[in-house]
Chains A and B, each alone.
Chain A
Amino acid sequence: MKVRFWGVRGSVPTPGPKTVKYGGNTACIEIRGDDDELLIIDAGTGLRELGNFLISNDLPNGPLKLNILLTHTHWDHIQGFPFFGPAYIPSSIITFRGPVNAIGKKLDEIVAGQMNYSYFPIKLSELRAQINFVEIREESFDIGSFHVSTCYLNHPILCLGYRIMYKNKVIITIYDNEPYRNIFADTKKSNSSDFEDQIDDEAIKEAEDYVYTQNQKILDFASGADLMIYDAQYTSEEFKTKIGWGHSTIDHAINAGISTQCKKLALFHHDPVRTDKELDTLQVQTVDKARGLGARHMVVFFARERLEVNL
């Protein structure tokens, strides 16, 4: 099985001379089984180049049947779709699976929303491929030989982590995710009444325990990966001013890699401000840190566009 990164950037595409090495496209990952069975995770701007690759590499062998797993529907995870070549080919069948909230738009409406005529000249309904939408929750299902399980992550909107098993190899994605924290303790007012104080104090205690349970649940879900692709948008210093934005730090990622005993840890969803030079420096520091924490056998690397990982 092969994993290929087509977009590794978080938040917004970041082209330019300072991002040539790691790439500026937003989230898109190709997973290819031994028999060329395909799974695509996320439809960020990296999807455009993947589409072109599929047309030249796979289409000659027959019509494209593509499955796209969306971690969530924020723009940096869907923005590549209007430029996805296979969507314009009548023989293609594209199935999106992803989470949406109980109150709000449906999955097809959200993806179609970015193709409203004010933003883009071609509507979703005008695309020539057959396009299906399946809303998914915390569940397990099979796509061909891939067995997929999902787990809710902590992000401002409903977001899923994926556990993909293929012939006993396991790939995990944990992004966009910020470790759960006790938000009740963070926001307690100092000038509240006794009555409010009492309810707030009890909420803080209850939340403390639940936060631990939820963080542990994600670690259990992610255990024993051959490759774990983990949110590492911020450094710990940067994180201090980004709490609540729904992302992790490099340190969070290393700790999660160690406690889940993953073999390869791909740091992913790089902040748009991160330059190639900084990532190279962080790569050295991160490997040292992981070694220092006792992770002798875990391979740690910052994901970059076109990087292939064989499992």
Chain B
Amino acid sequence: MPELIEKILRNIDEVPSLPISVSKILEVTKNPNASPNDLNKVISLDPILTGKVLKLVNSAYYSISTKVNSIVKAIILLGVNTIRNLALTTAVVPIVGTGVKKSWLVLNVNGFWKHSIGTGVTAKMIAKHAGIDKKVLEEYFIGGLLHDIGKVILDHALNEKYSDVIQKSAKENKSLIELEDELLDINHAKIGKLLAEKWDLSPELSEVINFHHNPKECNPDFKHLVYAVAVANIFCQQKKIGSSGNMSDISIDEEILSFLKLREEDLNEWEKTISEEINKASIFMNVQ
């Protein structure tokens, strides 16, 4: 394994929570009477915290036979107190340990958060539109929420070096993932997948993270989920919903739209609703 990837993976567990949501997370998790609903909202709206809580719940520590892929299930299974403590510990420790400002040099944190939430909301709307079983709707949201988590790792591990890649992508109107491959010999999708595996996230989530840029190569079992997140991602980029660090122009593959029984007009009609959802989430999480 190249030295750079080894270095990235060594630091993988030190990824901090998004600083924008920390005050809200602390407000809820420090409250001993936090309700399951409050806890669910505050964790589910933070990609890193969601990933880290699912990581712990799915770890060998609990050896749960069926992977838990939503915070609602995690709370039912292990109880409010346990999840509250897991969230509090994972949210606070890395921040105290590493210092927030130093850890977030490159990505625009608010923009990244909005892009993640936007992709989650859009993916879920696609799933609802397709009449997907309500039981698994949350997977679509979490898939969208976590799809770019590899970028947080790259940002955290490489700082200026990653900054160069992002700037070059903007300057040359070239896709970020291609430039990552070219300049770093690794990309955020692959790093995200390694993280998903290291964190014992469900195979579906790992697949979404790995293939959100090349969905047609994914495991056919998870095709609908991966396609929905891939489309949601491009849609949010096109409409400048948050910012993912990728400045290049991309369009949505017709074949994928047709598989999802979706028209671009549907997505355009939802744009207002998606923006509203993000605004509401921003207010809830005290994001400026």
Contacts and interface: CB of A to CB of B under 8 A. Distances in A.
B163 to A, nearest CB: 34
Contacts of A152: 62, 64, 77
Given A187-B35, A194-B280, A195-B284, A214 B41 contact: no
B35 A214 contact: no
A214 B77 contact: yes
B44 to A, nearest CB: 7
A17 B80 CA distance: 39
A180 B76 contact: yes
Interface string B38-62: 0011001000000000001001111
A210 B280 contact: no
Contact of B280 (A156, A157, A188, A195): A195
Interface in A194-230: 194-196, 199-200, 202-203, 205-207, 209-211, 214
Interface in A164-184: 180, 183-184
A154 B77 CA distance: 7
Contacts of A137: 60-63
A205 B284 CA distance: 21
Contacts of B77: 152, 210, 214
A102 B73 contact: no
Given A158-B82, A187-B37, A102 B61 contact: yes
Contact of A199 (B44, B81, B134): B44
Counting chain B CB atoms within 10 Å of each CB, which of A156, A188, A205, A210 scores highest? A210
A101 B82 CA distance: 8
B103 interface: no
Contacts of B135: 206, 209
B41 to A, nearest CB: 5
Contacts of B214: none
A138 B60 CA distance: 10
Contacts of A138: 62-65
B99 interface: no
Contacts of B281: 195
B72 interface: yes
B204 to A, nearest CB: 16
Mostly helix, strand, loop or mixed at chain B's interface?
Answer: helix
Interface string B66-109: 00001011011111111001100100000000000000000000
A139 interface: yes
B78 A158 contact: yes
A225 B233 CA distance: 51
Contact of A189 (B37, B60, B82, B137): B37
A203 B283 CA distance: 20
Interface in B131-148: 134-135, 137-138
A103 B85 contact: yes
Contacts of A183: 36, 75-76, 80
A157 B80 CA distance: 10
A206 B138 contact: yes
Interface string A88-125: 00000000000001111000000000000000000000
A193 B283 CA distance: 10
A65 B190 CA distance: 51
B180 interface: no
Contacts of B284: 193, 195-196
B277 interface: yes
A40 to B, nearest CB: 23
A214 B72 CA distance: 13
Contacts of A157: 79, 82
A184 B283 contact: no
B131 to A, nearest CB: 15
Contacts of B75: 183-184
Contacts of B60: 137
A272 to B, nearest CB: 23
A196 B137 contact: no
A207 B135 CA distance: 9
A102 B36 contact: no
A243 to B, nearest CB: 13
B72 A196 contact: no
A191 B85 CA distance: 26
**Among A102, A138, A205, residue most surrounded by chain B Cβ atoms (within 10 Å):** A102
Given A210-B73, A211-B76, 13 more contacts: A101-B85, A103-B89, A104-B85, A183-B36, A195-B277, A195-B280, A196-B41, A205-B134, A206-B70, A206-B72, A206-B137, A207-B76, A210-B77
Interface of A: 101-104, 137-139, 152, 154, 156-158, 180, 183-184, 187-189, 193-196, 199-200, 202-203, 205-207, 209-211, 214
Interface of B: 35-37, 40-41, 44, 56, 59-65, 70, 72-73, 75-82, 85-86, 89, 134-135, 137-138, 277, 280-281, 283-284
26 contacts: A101-B78, A101-B85, A102-B59, A102-B61, A103-B82, A103-B85, A103-B86, A158-B62, A158-B78, A183-B80, A184-B36, A184-B37, A189-B35, A195-B280, A195-B284, A196-B37, A196-B284, A199-B41, A202-B134, A202-B137, A202-B138, A203-B40, A206-B70, A209-B134, A210-B77, A214-B76
